[in-house]
Chains A and B, each alone.
Chain A
Amino acid sequence: MTREKIRAIIVEVISQILPDEDLSNLRGDIRIRDQIELDSMDFLDIIMELRKRYGIEVPEDDYIQLATLDGAVAYLEPRMTHL
């Protein structure tokens, strides 16, 4: 799966979790939490969606790597190559 596709999937997942947020200007290099109202339970929703949709397990120690959109794409790319 391409990086662009992975980025689009992450944004789409966030849009379902935070339907009130405008994600059109979401920057990849700034912490997602600093741009939109995303709390810890919302973050766990992202983790759960990755598990349910793609069977991807993100260990708690790796959560920090998903703090930004760019970081999330980089983390997920090798784990989604087969998709």
Chain B
Amino acid sequence: MRGGHDIPSSTRKEAGPIEKSHDSRVVITGIGLSAPNGNNLSEYRHNLLAGKASIEKIETHYMGEVLAGVCHFDPLKYQKKKELRRGTRAGSIAIYCANEAVADSRLDIAGLDKSRVGVYLGITEHGNVETENEVFGLKQYNYDVKYWSHHHNPRTVANNPAGEVTMNMGITGPHYTLGAACAAGNIGLIHGLQMLLLGEIDLALGGGVSESIHTFGVFASFKNEGALASHDNPNRACRPFDRDRNGIVVSEGGCVCTLERLSDALRRSATIYGEIVGYAINSDAFDFILPHAQRQAECVRLALKKAGLSPADIDIISSHATGTQQGDLQECLALAEVFKDAPQTHTNNTKSYIGHTMGAAGALELAGNLPSFNDHTVHPTINIDNLDPRCTVPNLVINHPANVDRIDHIMNNSFGMLGINSVVIVRRYEGR
């Protein structure tokens, strides 16, 4: 079994000069998040480096006890009790993350032209929670629909989480969600970038959210697919790349980033977490649930091409692997093929700590890696006792962090059902 190790940086390709104008470059200037093991980037990063997972047992309708990642942020930090009662859990997570992101960016929200702010949130699904709960509650009324809540429609429209953010923050620019299965978190970021480059907005709140642990159906469906993780110790249940992995741990979570054109960020001397220099979205055109290594590899190559990078330029691959036998293997095949000549590239995985935060996963897993630009450390994937010999990804960092001399590029993978693949590449910002 390979463990964390140090890689010399003598032969690496450093970030080169960029010819694009500052108006056509997009940077991340603020991060707001809630993960099962942290409610801000500092706490989250600390726990990732400390190997601290946070999965617990919860009760769910019809199924009893299941394993889940639960967020423990204070919803009343940014919402009134009435707003909480009126809205959805996804809306509440989104509101917390969006407010935290703006606070972190040090933007003067009161001074912003709020018609030029866009809210773009990735979701795996939305509405199942409310619908299931209504049906569950209706049973005591013998399924008489006059007891069905008048709140059901506004709670279940697909734009709900993003719309709740705009109402909470007084944002009058565009808002909507992007339904993209478990690739959605990346796609919220990508869409924010695209809207900035189109000039549609001046500030994007992009990312993803998930409330899926509050719907029994997600658990039941994964279980009946043979893809729901089980383990006596909840924190050991999610174990991507381990020989004995047995499925997904479903989690709630959220991550919203403030995205700005570089010119705007520099004008206000913003702190820049990184620059999104490449991205790609493609489709397997293959199967409802099974992943497809070849299409994933094509997606990675397309993102590299857009960024003008070669595989060896990537320092960290933040893998999507969820802990299923087939899913992990397909991603490993894709990465092994693309990165076969990239001896310095490291791979890690964040789901092993927090489970699968579904629509939030892409943005949340990227965010957990961004501090590595400054702390030069790659957090490991944990819960590997016996590495699956078929999982030959580049320099998988296992159980202990790896220290490196320099990190310039992070590549974040997020893939989802119906064969949607997404890749985002972020470059360390060096002040040029």
Contacts and interface: CB of A to CB of B under 8 A. Distances in A.
A13 to B, nearest CB: 13
B80 A20 contact: yes
Interface in B124-161: 141, 146-147, 149-151
Contacts of B85: 17, 19
B220 to A, nearest CB: 28
B176 to A, nearest CB: 22
A18 B147 contact: no
A20 B85 CA distance: 11
Contacts of B81: 19-20
Interface residues of B, number: 11
B82 interface: yes
Interface string B53-94: 000000000000000000000000000111001100000000
Nearest to B146: A51
Contact of A48 (B80, B82, B86, B147): B147
A41 B85 CA distance: 12
B86 A41 contact: yes
Interface of A: 17-21, 37, 41, 44-45, 48, 51-52
A61 to B, nearest CB: 17
A52 B82 CA distance: 20
Nearest to B83: A20
A37 B80 CA distance: 12
A19 B85 CA distance: 9
Contacts of A48: 147, 149-150
Nearest to B141: A52
Nearest to B154: A41
B8 to A, nearest CB: 59
Contacts of A19: 81-82, 85
A51 B144 CA distance: 12
Given A17-B85, A18-B82, A41-B150, 13 more contacts: A19-B82, A19-B85, A20-B80, A20-B81, A37-B82, A41-B151, A44-B150, A45-B150, A48-B147, A48-B149, A51-B146, A51-B147, A52-B147
Contacts of B149: 48
Contacts of A45: 150
Contact of A20 (B82, B150, B151): B82
21 contacts: A17-B82, A17-B85, A18-B82, A19-B81, A19-B82, A19-B85, A20-B80, A20-B81, A20-B82, A37-B82, A41-B86, A41-B150, A41-B151, A44-B150, A48-B147, A48-B149, A48-B150, A51-B146, A51-B147, A52-B141, A52-B147
A37 B86 CA distance: 13
A20 B149 CA distance: 21
Contacts of B147: 48, 51-52
Interface in B307-335: none
Contacts of A51: 146-147
Nearest to A16: B85
Nearest to A57: B146
B164 to A, nearest CB: 14
Nearest to B86: A41
Contacts of A44: 150
